Structure 1
Amino acid sequence: MTKLFSPITFKNIELKNRLVMSPMCMYSCVEEDGLVTPFHQIHYGSRAIGQVGLVMVEATAVQPEGRISMQDLGIWSDDHIPGLRSLTEQIHAYGASSAIQLAHAGRKADVNTEIYAPTNIPFHEHSATPVAMTREDIKDTIVAFQQAAVRAKKAGFHIIEIHAAHGYLLNQFLSPLTNKRMDEYGGTLHNRMRLLEEVIQAIQTDWDGPIFVRLSVNEYDTNGNSINDFIIIAKLLKALGIHLIDCSSGGIIPVSVPAYPGYQVPYSEKLKHEANIATGAVGLITSGVQAEEILQNDRADLIFVGRTLLRNPYWAREAANELKTTLQPPTQYKRGWNI
């Protein structure tokens, strides 16, 4: 069996293969209420039917002011639980495992209310100026993540991913480029990591499943966190009980990122070996051979695929054919799967 289509276990959850649908915002809550729509049902269910091992639901806001857009999914209210439960039931019905990415956009939120950040520095000159968070604001946000985890559990998700990448709130606290605070949440690397640590600990009070963290491992600025800083962060996250680092890059400041096939794989490889923690590789992984090479050479433990799965919900079949391995089809599709 190829490694891409072999199972892997995180804590109490076994994934049937190592292919993950990467979380991607769908901007599809047309009523701006954060509730699951029929589109979400079809979108996520079709990738489970397509035999993705882990379907990860898009960045889901833990507070309404933390939405990336007004059309984002939400998990800040118990009203969101039934729709999210319907998603997990759909995903599980076809043999996939489910995950949800808990997120807060911070200064990159595009909403019609005040937005919040570690300090009142806007993302760029045309962005809204955020309110610098007070300790009470920070406490409220920690509680929001904790309550979101409770709702995720009630909705039936198997795995939680904490979004601490792409320039969103937790990334803003982590980075010296955006965190200019002078209190216990700013200054040293350990202080800048304090909010992420407290969010993890709050989630763990009610959540007993695996927890992943997405990091932007390259900030593309010499004054930002270095790869050595991220090795330290990854080691600390492992000590906190995190099971995998989903290794992305960029987003903390406006900058052009040089993207090419596999451009982020070296980050997952470095953190995996130097921090001794499981990692996920993401970023222009478009073929089965490419994914298999990453896994066989021990450069990552999971393969996160995004835009490729937008183009083709059944990309897993294509990758399996390329690797000359058999991927069992959903019963309904047997007549056409192997033609």
Structure 2
Amino acid sequence: MPHLFTPITLRDLTIRNRAWVPPMCQYSVDARDGIATPWHLMHYGSFARGGAGAVIIEATGVLPEGRISPEDLGLWDDAQRDALVPVVDLVHSQGAAIGIQLAHAGRKASTAAAWGTPRPGASLTPAEGGWETVGPSELAFEGLTRPAELGEAGLDAVVAAFVASARRAVEAGFDLLELHGAHGYLLHEFLSPLSNHRTDEYGGDLAGRARLLLRVADAVRAEIPAGMPLLVRLSATEWVDGGFDLEEATEVVRLLGEHGVDMVDVSSAGNTADATIPVGPGYQTPLAAHLKAATEVPISAVGLIEDPIQAEHVLATSQADAVRVGRAFLRDPSWAVHAAVALRADVGIVPPQYDRAFRGLLPRR
């Protein structure tokens, strides 16, 4: 049996294989109220039908002001929860696990969607539906508006929002939760000395800069069922001198494990506009491999993992415990089925309605 199609168990959840779909923003909430649409039902259901082990819903705002754009999903009210239930049910019906990434965009919030707008990624004015952003310090991301510094009441509200959204995710039937601590969004902004210039207990050394992430992890872990996995996505390096780096990430991953986090997804960058990133096939996998070797926390790898042989190699050489395949799944929602064909593994993920198309391509049990 290829490693890619070996089940993995996190707490009480067993996931059928290790080919997972990562969160990928869709900017498809037409009414700008954070509610999932038929697009989301089709989008996520297709990956489950195509054999993915786990499908993780895109970055979902825990507060209206925590969205990247007005077109983002939200989970700050019950109507948003209820709209996600059909998505959860469809993914489950196809044999996959489903998670959701809870997020607050911090100083990178209130921007125009990445597509379908005249100024993609630009800060929105109030007249355009924008809002005041917040961050650890009054330091703007390059080209965006300056955020307000979060005070004690604001920090408490953020933590409470993550907890309330986690509760709704449980009520909607999700199997796992992920906290977004990467890509220059709020929890990452606190981790980074480039964006966090605070002098209180939430700034300074790594213990201070990691305080908000660990506080959110503790609060969410206490809210959700004991058997439900809690994951974190982390930017393991910012690829910038003086920024959050792999050495600090190693310590944060160890701390996350001590605070009840069951897996860390290893990404990178996103907190600066001038990083020199060595983008190429599997370019972030060495970061995942380092963290897997240096800690006892299960690790997933992401970043231009596209070929089934490449994915199998990552797992077979113990560089990660699961792989997240993003763009390749967008191009081919049946990527996992085609990976089974490439690896000559009959793993029972072809829907019976499609079986005739794969006769002769897969070995029979």
For the superposition of Structure 1 and Structure 2, which TM-score range results when normalised by the shorter chain? over 0.9
Give TM-score, length-normalised by structure 1: 0.98
Which amino acid is the alignment partner of residue 192 of structure 2?
S
Question: What is aligned with 1:78?
Answer: 78
Question: What is aligned with 1:185?
Answer: 202
Aligned-residue RMSD, C-alpha: 1.0
> Percent of counterpart pairs with the same letter?
42
Question: What is aligned with 2:287?
Answer: 267
Structure 1 residue 256: deviation in Å?
4.0
Question: What is aligned with 1:309?
Answer: 329
Question: What is aligned with 2:120?
Answer: none
Structure 1 residue 228: deviation in Å?
1.3
CA deviation string 1:263-287 (max 9, x = no partner): 1001111111101211001011111
User: Residues 221 and 260 of structure 2 are in contact (CA less than 8 Å); yes or no, is this contact kept in structure 1?
Assistant: no
CA deviation string 1:175-234 (max 9, x = no partner): 101000011100010011110111011112221210110000011112012211111111
Question: What is aligned with 2:259?
Answer: 240
Which amino acid is the alignment partner of residue 133 of structure 1?
L
User: Residues 265 and 300 of structure 2 are in contact (CA less than 8 Å); yes or no, is this contact kept in structure 1?
Assistant: yes
In structure 2, C-alpha distance between the alignment counterparts of 1:253 and 1:145, rounded to whole Å: 25
CA deviation string 1:88-119 (max 9, x = no partner): 10100000001000000000002511111001
Question: What is aligned with 1:117?
Answer: 135
2:244 maps to which of 222, 225, 229: 225
Aligned residues: 338
Which amino acid is the alignment partner of residue 352 of structure 2?
T
* Secondary structure in structure 1 of the residue aligned to 2:266: strand
State yes or no: 1:164 paired with 2:181. yes
In structure 2, C-alpha distance between the alignment counterparts of 1:202 and 1:66, rounded to whole Å: 18
In structure 2, C-alpha distance between the alignment counterparts of 1:257 and 1:25, rounded to whole Å: 21
Which amino acid is the alignment partner of residue 290 of structure 1?
Q
Which amino acid is the alignment partner of residue 207 of structure 2?
H
Structure 1 residue 320: deviation in Å?
1.1
User: Residues 298 and 321 of structure 2 are in contact (CA less than 8 Å); yes or no, is this contact kept in structure 1?
Assistant: yes
State yes or no: 1:205 paired with 2:222. yes
- Structure 2: 5+ residue runs without aligned partners? 112-129
* Secondary structure in structure 2 of the residue aligned to 1:179: coil
Q: How do 1:293-304 and structure 2 match up within 5 A? A: 293-304=313-324
Bigger drift between 219-228 and 163-172 goes to: 219-228
1:176 maps to which of 173, 186, 193: 193
Structure 1 residue 79: deviation in Å?
1.4
CA deviation string 1:146-187 (max 9, x = no partner): 001000000000000100000000000001010000111000
In structure 2, C-alpha distance between the alignment counterparts of 1:11 and 1:327, rounded to whole Å: 23
In structure 2, C-alpha distance between the alignment counterparts of 1:128 and 1:256, rounded to whole Å: 23
Question: What is aligned with 1:29?
Answer: 29
Structure 1 residue 69: deviation in Å?
1.0
Question: What is aligned with 1:337?
Answer: 358
1:289 maps to which of 289, 294, 309: 309
* Secondary structure in structure 1 of the residue aligned to 2:344: coil
Structure 1 residue 75: deviation in Å?
0.4
* Secondary structure in structure 2 of the residue aligned to 1:300: coil
CA deviation string 1:20-44 (max 9, x = no partner): 1010000000110110100000000
* Secondary structure in structure 1 of the residue aligned to 2:224: coil
Give TM-score, length-normalised by structure 2: 0.91
Bigger drift between 106-115 and 14-23 goes to: 106-115
Which amino acid is the alignment partner of residue 80 of structure 2?
H
Bigger drift between 81-90 and 38-47 goes to: 81-90
In structure 2, C-alpha distance between the alignment counterparts of 1:291 and 1:220, rounded to whole Å: 24
In structure 2, C-alpha distance between the alignment counterparts of 1:299 and 1:267, rounded to whole Å: 9
User: Residues 239 and 245 of structure 2 are in contact (CA less than 8 Å); yes or no, is this contact kept in structure 1?
Assistant: no
- Structure 1: 5+ residue runs without aligned partners? none
* Secondary structure in structure 2 of the residue aligned to 1:56: strand
Question: What is aligned with 1:62?
Answer: 62
